[in-house]
């Protein structure tokens, strides 16, 4: 028998554990959980891509960080033994681009962390699991807008690992009645998103290149689209889903803001006052062609907040400009 969402422990006063909590979305979630009045917020992050600076406020406010690998069960076991955890938010992952470099480990991380948590939950280590899926599990849209019933056609090992983890969550709910649910964000943007190296996403890379005096790049035709949502809106939706989404269910988290990549890059260039050339690069293999979501289910569950894209993008670019001015953009 599945637990009902209405029986979940309130976030105020609870102990929440966030895997991947030093990363982009996870660190904003940690801040929000502290603001919600969580009694204790525990972060487990191996700092593969996460950044201690993302947790500056949270650590000052009392969050506890374990610099540990959530793929390694003995590490998780001793952390759960040390804290009476109520709810786990599973944000740990290795960025999509990493799966082109090391597909097996990208797949393993996405499945192993989820399985470790499901096993711990099955043995009673905590009550509720919010598992982070991704729009990448759908592959290119077979119909638009894409709802939660859209077939899963992962085009990368990253997405395949995420899809497998989703199935694991659903099966553990059916088999053992666990209180676990799946949130499925589309493309997030905002402050703290990784901007360095080959694992960075399109908005951080474009901002970094322009701020460093390099031409921004469009891969392929630029007609490929993604559905962009501001990170604080995703976090807000996740918090509201915790109170509303039944066990075993998943929900798209999207702002219904489908943008072509060429248009997005031109908008960033304009915002940053860049008037130079935009370089054309070859299409990336396995690139999803179209993501265009419906958030009808989410909107029926909760009163969600949506930041206008121009406002969110400006906040984001201001943050990257400040990082650049501080010599932290590399
Ligand atoms: N950013 C997006 O646009 C987006 C879109 C859809 C879904 N998601 C999902 O949201 C979640 C968070 O994504 P994000 O953008 O914040 O990613 P991120 O890379 O910024 O954060 C992931 C964190 O996981 C940590 N990590 C990796 N392997 C680990 C391990 N074995 N043990 C412990 N920590 C580990 C990393 O160090 C990093 O801090 C992920 O599950 C991701 O799939 C993100």
Active site residue 189: no
Where, residue-wise, is CATH 3.90.25.10 in the chain?
A: 197-226+258-325
Q: How far apart are CA 328 and CA 207, in angstroms?
A: 13
The torsion defined by the Cα of 271, 274, 280 and 283, in degrees rounded to 10, comes to -30
Quick check: 3 pLDDT over 60?
Answer: no
For residue 94, the CA-to-ligand 1 centroid distance in Å is 6
Assessment of whether the complete model's pTM goes beyond 0.95:
yes
Cβ(134) to ligand 1 under 6 A? yes
Split at pLDDT 50, 70, 90, the class of 61 is very high
Q: How far apart are CA 70 and CA 57, in angstroms?
A: 23
Quick check: 224 pLDDT over 50?
Answer: yes
Mean pLDDT (the chain) is 96
Structure tokens at 145: 């807008």
User: For 216-237, what is the mean pLDDT?
Assistant: 97
For residue 179, the CA-to-ligand 1 centroid distance in Å is 22
Superfamily of domain 197-226+258-325, CATH level 4: UDP-galactose 4-epimerase, domain 1 (3.90.25.10)
Spot the catalytic one: 66, 98, 138, 158: 158
pLDDT tens profile 74-121: 999 999 999 999 999 999 999 999 999 999 999 999 999 999 999 999
Q: Is the dihedral of CA 256, 208, 266, 287 positive or negative?
A: negative
Q: Per CATH, which fold does 12-189+229-253 belong to?
A: Rossmann fold (3.40.50)
pLDDT tens profile 159-178: 999 999 999 999 999 999 99
Where, residue-wise, is CATH 3.40.50.720 in the chain?
A: 12-189+229-253
Cβ(65) to ligand 1 under 6 A? no
3-class secondary structure for 44-70? ECCCCCCCHHHHHHHHHCCCEEECCCC
């Amino acid at each position: 028998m599945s637990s009902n969402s209405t029986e979940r422990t309130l976030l105020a006063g609870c102990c929440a554990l966030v895997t991947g909590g030093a990363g982009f979305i996870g660190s904003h979630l940690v801040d929000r959980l502290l603001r919600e009045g969580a009694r204790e917020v525990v972060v487990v992050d191996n700092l593969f891509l996460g950044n201690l600076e993302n947790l500056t406020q949270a650590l000052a406010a009392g969050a506890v960080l374990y610099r540990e690998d959530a793929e390694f069960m003995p590490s998780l076991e001793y952390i759960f033994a040390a804290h009476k955890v109520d709810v786990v938010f599973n944000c740990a992952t290795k960025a999509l681009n990493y799966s082109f470099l090391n597909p097996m480990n990208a797949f393993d991380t996405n499945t192993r962390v989820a399985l470790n948590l499901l096993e711990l939950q099955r043995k009673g280590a905590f009550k509720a699991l919010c598992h982070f899926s991704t729009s990448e599990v759908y592959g290119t849209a077979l119909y638009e807008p894409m709802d939660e019933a859209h077939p899963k056609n992962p085009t990368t090992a990253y997405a395949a690992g995420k899809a497998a983890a989703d199935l694991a969550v659903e099966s553990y709910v059916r088999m053992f009645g666990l209180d676990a649910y799946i949130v499925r964000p589309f493309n997030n943007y905002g402050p703290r998103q990784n901007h360095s190296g080959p694992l960075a996403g399109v908005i951080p890379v474009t901002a970094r290149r322009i701020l460093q005096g390099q031409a921004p790049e469009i891969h392929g035709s630029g007609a490929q689209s993604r559905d962009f949502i501001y990170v604080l809106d995703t976090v807000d939706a996740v918090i509201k889903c915790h109170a509303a989404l039944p066990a075993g269910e998943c929900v798209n988290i999207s702002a219904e803001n489908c943008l072509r990549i060429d248009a997005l890059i031109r908008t960033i260039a304009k915002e940053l006052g860049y008037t130079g050339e935009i370089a054309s690069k070859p299409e990336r293999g396995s690139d999803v062609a179209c993501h265009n979501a419906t958030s009808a289910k989410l909107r029926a569950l909760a009163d969600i907040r949506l930041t206008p894209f121009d406002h969110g993008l400006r906040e984001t670019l201001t943050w990257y400009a400040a990082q650049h001015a501080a010599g932290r953009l590399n």
